[in-house]
Amino acid sequence: MLNPTDFKKSIQTIEALGMTPAVLVKAIEMAQDPNTDMENFSALLRNDGPLSADIIRISNSPYYAPATPHSNLLSAISQLGFGEVIHVINLSLARQLFARDLPSYGVLARDYWSASITAALVMEALAQVTDLVSEDAYTVGILHPIGRVLINHVIEEKGFSIYWDCQRPIEEWELAAVGFNFADAGALLLEHWRFPAAICDVIRNQLVPVPDQQTLTMAGILQFAKRLLALTGPTFQFETWEYPVNDPFIQAARLSEPTLRELVSGCRDNYRKILQTVDFP
């Protein structure tokens, strides 16, 4: 078992992959400021060359299908708008963060990346029907599993041969192997990257059951999104799935079965479009 204090220090010394996480934090702040103009927004994004290239490339993809291809960053973000640019930054960040297999967990990179994207799509859709900030929900969905990427990274960095046995619950294995779970690890890294406290708190507490009266919160949406994906399949691969009529989120949000099935269908369509858009390593 790793020393928890040493492990936390190791996590906090891991630097971001490029500038993207820092840019995402600032972009979220600017997008929510009514005084932000596109030129200042573009100036921020230009500081991260790979991200700028990703934004232009994705803005020209079949997902957005512009009438005339964009040749520069300002043109791309002007058409996309603030909210969609935040989506693209999240997709670019996820492509960087989840580009490697997690051998300590026995998980392939593509599967982990897909799980983050589908959670983001579901959370965004649920936020829209519960009047929460959909851009924040999308970001939480993308980043909620990031702690496992870090746990795997630090295990490899220290040269340990530690592997999940697929027998006991994965969170229990994490506690036994490294001293804390992926939720704590993820929150530590996001705090290191100076993400908003509200997002860090949701990531940290994602394993703590949400009281019924707090179901329609960002934490409640994340936990319901994971329950829903367990029914639909992590990539919406199950065409038939059971409507969770007794789920507290369903009751609190008053989501009818047709509405929920339409929501899942829309998320499935968007996921398939993203697969055609993002050039995953």
Tell whether the model's pLDDT for residue 258 goes beyond 90. yes
How many whole angstroms separate alpha carbon 202 and alpha carbon 144?
8
What confidence tens digit (pLDDT) does each residue in 119-144 have?
Answer: 999 999 999 999 998 889 999 999 99
The whole-model pTM stands at 0.87
What confidence tens digit (pLDDT) does each residue in 233-247 have?
Answer: 999 999 999 999 999
197: amino acid identity, one letter: A
How many whole angstroms separate alpha carbon 134 and alpha carbon 136?
5
Phi, psi of 44 (to 5 degrees): -65, -50
How many whole angstroms separate alpha carbon 87 and alpha carbon 127?
14
Superfamily of domain 4-14+98-277: Hypothetical protein af1432 (1.10.3210.10)
Phi, psi of 238 (to 5 degrees): -90, 115
Residue 185 burial (10 A CB sphere; 0-12, 13-18, 19+): buried
Phi-psi region of 255 (alpha: psi -120 to 50; beta: other; left: phi over 0): beta
CB 210 within 8 A of CB 217: yes
What pLDDT is attached to residue 16? 47
- Residue 71, Cβ neighbours under 10 Å: how many? 9
Q: Which helix (H) or strand (E) holds 277?
A: helix 257-277
How many whole angstroms separate alpha carbon 15 and alpha carbon 189?
9
How many whole angstroms separate alpha carbon 80 and alpha carbon 274?
15
Enter the tokens of residue 58: 């994705």
Q: Mean pLDDT, the chain, as a whole number?
A: 87
Share of the chain above pLDDT 70, in %: 92
Pick 122 or 191 by higher pLDDT: 122
